[in-house]
Amino acid sequence: MPPAYTPLTRDRILATAEDVIRRFGPAKATVVDVARALGVSHAAVYRHVATKAELRDLVVGRWVEETMAPLRAIADRPGPAPKRLRQLFDALIAIKRRRAAEDPELFAAYRTLAADAQSVAAAHVDELIGLAAKIIRSGVKEGKFRALDPVASGRAVLFATSRFHHPIHAAEWIDPGIDEEFDDVWRLLMDGLRAGKRPS
Protein backbone atom coordinates (compact mmCIF):
# COMPACT_ATOMS: atom_id res chain seq x y z
CA MET A 1 0.00 0.00 0.00
CA PRO A 2 1.55 3.38 -0.97
CA PRO A 3 2.29 5.86 1.84
CA ALA A 4 -0.38 8.43 2.58
CA TYR A 5 0.08 11.68 0.73
CA THR A 6 1.20 14.56 2.94
CA PRO A 7 0.08 17.89 1.51
CA LEU A 8 2.70 20.56 1.06
CA THR A 9 1.83 23.40 3.42
CA ARG A 10 3.66 26.51 4.54
CA ASP A 11 4.07 25.01 8.03
CA ARG A 12 5.67 21.90 6.57
CA ILE A 13 7.98 24.02 4.44
CA LEU A 14 9.07 26.09 7.44
CA ALA A 15 9.63 23.02 9.63
CA THR A 16 11.80 21.52 6.89
CA ALA A 17 13.64 24.82 6.46
CA GLU A 18 14.48 24.74 10.18
CA ASP A 19 15.91 21.25 9.78
CA VAL A 20 17.97 22.33 6.76
CA ILE A 21 19.28 25.33 8.70
CA ARG A 22 20.12 23.16 11.70
CA ARG A 23 22.09 20.66 9.62
CA PHE A 24 23.77 22.89 7.07
CA GLY A 25 23.63 26.46 8.38
CA PRO A 26 21.68 29.53 7.30
CA ALA A 27 23.40 29.80 3.92
CA LYS A 28 21.56 26.62 2.86
CA ALA A 29 18.15 28.04 3.71
CA THR A 30 17.25 28.50 0.07
CA VAL A 31 14.01 27.55 -1.61
CA VAL A 32 15.86 25.00 -3.77
CA ASP A 33 17.56 23.30 -0.80
CA VAL A 34 14.32 23.16 1.16
CA ALA A 35 12.51 21.72 -1.87
CA ARG A 36 15.22 19.06 -2.21
CA ALA A 37 14.81 18.13 1.48
CA LEU A 38 11.05 17.86 1.01
CA GLY A 39 11.44 15.73 -2.11
CA VAL A 40 9.42 18.14 -4.23
CA SER A 41 10.19 20.56 -7.04
CA HIS A 42 11.26 24.07 -6.20
CA ALA A 43 8.25 25.24 -8.22
CA ALA A 44 5.99 23.52 -5.69
CA VAL A 45 7.65 25.39 -2.83
CA TYR A 46 7.51 28.67 -4.76
CA ARG A 47 3.73 28.40 -4.73
CA HIS A 48 3.93 28.95 -0.96
CA VAL A 49 7.11 31.03 -0.60
CA ALA A 50 8.01 33.57 -3.26
CA THR A 51 11.69 34.22 -2.52
CA LYS A 52 14.61 33.21 -0.32
CA ALA A 53 14.14 36.48 1.59
CA GLU A 54 10.51 35.61 2.31
CA LEU A 55 11.53 32.11 3.41
CA ARG A 56 14.10 33.61 5.79
CA ASP A 57 11.59 36.09 7.19
CA LEU A 58 8.96 33.39 7.69
CA VAL A 59 11.42 31.08 9.47
CA VAL A 60 12.53 33.86 11.82
CA GLY A 61 8.91 34.91 12.31
CA ARG A 62 7.94 31.36 13.27
CA TRP A 63 10.71 31.25 15.86
CA VAL A 64 9.69 34.65 17.23
CA GLU A 65 6.04 33.63 17.47
CA GLU A 66 6.97 30.59 19.56
CA THR A 67 8.94 32.90 21.85
CA MET A 68 6.20 35.49 22.22
CA ALA A 69 3.16 33.35 23.08
CA PRO A 70 4.04 32.76 26.77
CA LEU A 71 5.17 36.36 27.16
CA ARG A 72 1.85 37.71 25.91
CA ALA A 73 0.08 35.52 28.45
CA ILE A 74 2.12 37.05 31.29
CA ALA A 75 1.37 40.60 30.13
CA ASP A 76 -2.37 39.80 29.98
CA ARG A 77 -2.72 38.10 33.34
CA PRO A 78 -3.91 39.95 36.46
CA GLY A 79 -1.69 40.68 39.43
CA PRO A 80 0.67 43.37 40.76
CA ALA A 81 2.57 45.05 37.96
CA PRO A 82 6.06 44.84 39.54
CA LYS A 83 5.68 41.07 39.93
CA ARG A 84 4.37 40.62 36.38
CA LEU A 85 7.14 42.76 34.91
CA ARG A 86 9.75 40.57 36.59
CA GLN A 87 7.91 37.43 35.43
CA LEU A 88 7.94 38.79 31.86
CA PHE A 89 11.70 39.21 31.82
CA ASP A 90 12.38 36.01 33.77
CA ALA A 91 10.37 34.13 31.13
CA LEU A 92 12.13 35.90 28.24
CA ILE A 93 15.52 35.02 29.68
CA ALA A 94 14.50 31.42 30.38
CA ILE A 95 13.18 30.90 26.85
CA LYS A 96 16.32 32.26 25.22
CA ARG A 97 18.64 30.26 27.48
CA ARG A 98 16.69 27.06 26.93
CA ARG A 99 16.82 27.43 23.17
CA ALA A 100 20.52 28.22 23.22
CA ALA A 101 21.22 25.16 25.36
CA GLU A 102 18.88 22.66 23.67
CA ASP A 103 19.51 23.54 20.03
CA PRO A 104 22.74 25.58 19.80
CA GLU A 105 23.16 25.08 16.05
CA LEU A 106 19.71 26.41 15.27
CA PHE A 107 20.05 29.19 17.84
CA ALA A 108 23.31 30.36 16.26
CA ALA A 109 21.74 30.19 12.82
CA TYR A 110 18.83 32.34 13.95
CA ARG A 111 21.24 35.01 15.09
CA THR A 112 22.54 35.20 11.52
CA LEU A 113 19.08 35.03 9.93
CA ALA A 114 17.62 37.67 12.26
CA ALA A 115 20.38 40.09 11.30
CA ASP A 116 19.10 39.87 7.71
CA ALA A 117 15.40 39.76 8.59
CA GLN A 118 15.52 43.26 10.00
CA SER A 119 11.83 44.04 9.68
CA VAL A 120 10.89 40.85 11.56
CA ALA A 121 13.50 41.49 14.25
CA ALA A 122 12.36 45.10 14.64
CA ALA A 123 8.74 44.00 15.00
CA HIS A 124 9.85 41.50 17.67
CA VAL A 125 11.63 44.23 19.65
CA ASP A 126 8.64 46.57 19.27
CA GLU A 127 6.30 43.90 20.63
CA LEU A 128 8.58 43.22 23.60
CA ILE A 129 8.63 46.93 24.36
CA GLY A 130 4.84 46.98 24.02
CA LEU A 131 4.38 44.13 26.50
CA ALA A 132 6.65 45.81 29.03
CA ALA A 133 4.83 49.12 28.46
CA LYS A 134 1.47 47.44 29.02
CA ILE A 135 2.56 46.18 32.42
CA ILE A 136 4.22 49.48 33.37
CA ARG A 137 1.07 51.37 32.38
CA SER A 138 -0.99 49.17 34.69
CA GLY A 139 1.58 49.74 37.44
CA VAL A 140 1.16 53.49 37.12
CA LYS A 141 -2.61 53.06 37.48
CA GLU A 142 -2.08 50.85 40.53
CA GLY A 143 0.16 53.46 42.11
CA LYS A 144 3.06 50.99 42.14
CA PHE A 145 5.06 52.88 39.52
CA ARG A 146 5.50 56.61 39.30
CA ALA A 147 3.91 58.58 36.47
CA LEU A 148 6.14 58.21 33.43
CA ASP A 149 6.00 57.33 29.75
CA PRO A 150 5.26 53.57 29.66
CA VAL A 151 6.69 53.03 26.17
CA ALA A 152 9.94 54.89 26.89
CA SER A 153 10.24 53.04 30.19
CA GLY A 154 9.52 49.67 28.57
CA ARG A 155 12.19 50.36 25.97
CA ALA A 156 14.68 51.35 28.68
CA VAL A 157 14.03 48.18 30.70
CA LEU A 158 14.40 45.99 27.60
CA PHE A 159 17.65 47.58 26.51
CA ALA A 160 19.07 47.76 30.06
CA THR A 161 18.59 44.00 30.43
CA SER A 162 19.73 43.04 26.91
CA ARG A 163 22.86 41.27 28.18
CA PHE A 164 20.64 38.67 29.79
CA HIS A 165 18.38 37.85 26.82
CA HIS A 166 19.79 39.19 23.54
CA PRO A 167 21.27 36.30 21.49
CA ILE A 168 24.46 38.24 20.82
CA HIS A 169 25.34 37.72 24.49
CA ALA A 170 24.56 33.98 24.53
CA ALA A 171 28.16 32.99 25.31
CA GLU A 172 27.94 34.98 28.56
CA TRP A 173 24.85 33.15 29.86
CA ILE A 174 26.90 30.27 31.29
CA ASP A 175 28.63 32.66 33.71
CA PRO A 176 27.72 31.35 37.18
CA GLY A 177 27.23 34.88 38.49
CA ILE A 178 24.90 36.09 35.76
CA ASP A 179 21.68 35.58 37.74
CA GLU A 180 23.02 37.66 40.61
CA GLU A 181 24.07 40.35 38.13
CA PHE A 182 20.57 40.38 36.68
CA ASP A 183 19.10 40.80 40.17
CA ASP A 184 21.39 43.81 40.73
CA VAL A 185 20.32 45.42 37.46
CA TRP A 186 16.68 44.68 38.20
CA ARG A 187 16.80 46.35 41.63
CA LEU A 188 18.19 49.51 40.06
CA LEU A 189 15.49 49.51 37.38
CA MET A 190 12.71 49.00 39.92
CA ASP A 191 14.11 51.80 42.09
CA GLY A 192 13.73 54.05 39.06
CA LEU A 193 10.17 52.93 38.33
CA ARG A 194 8.74 52.65 41.82
CA ALA A 195 6.27 55.26 43.00
CA GLY A 196 7.75 57.60 45.57
CA LYS A 197 11.23 57.28 44.11
CA ARG A 198 12.70 60.33 42.42
CA PRO A 199 16.03 59.91 40.64
CA SER A 200 18.50 62.61 41.69
Name the residue with higher pLDDT: 151 or 49.
151
Q: What is the mean pLDDT of residues 145-169?
A: 95
Is pLDDT above 60 for 129? yes
Q: What is the mean pLDDT of residues 116-145?
A: 92
Q: What is the mean pLDDT of residues 54-75?
A: 87
Q: How confident is the model at residue 5 (pLDDT cuts 50, 70, 90)?
A: low
Q: What is the mean pLDDT of residues 2-16?
A: 77
Name the residue with higher pLDDT: 42 or 172.
172
CATH architecture of the domain 56-193 equals Orthogonal Bundle (1.10)
- For the domain 1-50, what is the CATH code? 1.10.10
Q: What is the mean pLDDT of residues 51-62?
A: 82
Q: What is the mean pLDDT of residues 1-28?
A: 77
Q: How confident is the model at residue 197 (pLDDT cuts 50, 70, 90)?
A: low
DSSP 3-state of 54: helix
Q: What is the mean pLDDT of residues 86-109?
A: 90
Lowest mean pLDDT among 24-28, 130-134, 170-174: 24-28
Buried b vs exposed e over 88-99: b needs ≥16 C-beta within 10 Å? bbbbbbebbbeb
Tell me the pLDDT of the chain averaged across its residues: 88
DSSP string, 73-109: HHHHS-S-HHHHHHHHHHHHHHHHHHHHHH-HHHHHH
Q: Where in the chain is the domain with CATH 1.10.10?
A: 1-50
Q: How confident is the model at residue 3 (pLDDT cuts 50, 70, 90)?
A: very low
Q: How confident is the model at residue 91 (pLDDT cuts 50, 70, 90)?
A: very high
Is pLDDT above 70 for 199? no
Q: Where in the chain is the domain with CATH 1.10.357.10?
A: 56-193
Is pLDDT above 70 for 2? no
Q: In angstroms, rounded to a whole number, what is the distance separating the alpha carbons of residues 110 and 26?
A: 8
Which residue, 62, 173, 64, 60, is CA-closest to 128? Answer: 64
pLDDT at 198: 55
Q: In angstroms, rounded to a whole number, what is the distance separating the alpha carbons of residues 67 and 112?
A: 17
Inter-residue contact 157 to 132 (CB < 8 Å): yes
Which are the contacts of 122, defined by CB distance < 8 A and separation ≥ 6? none
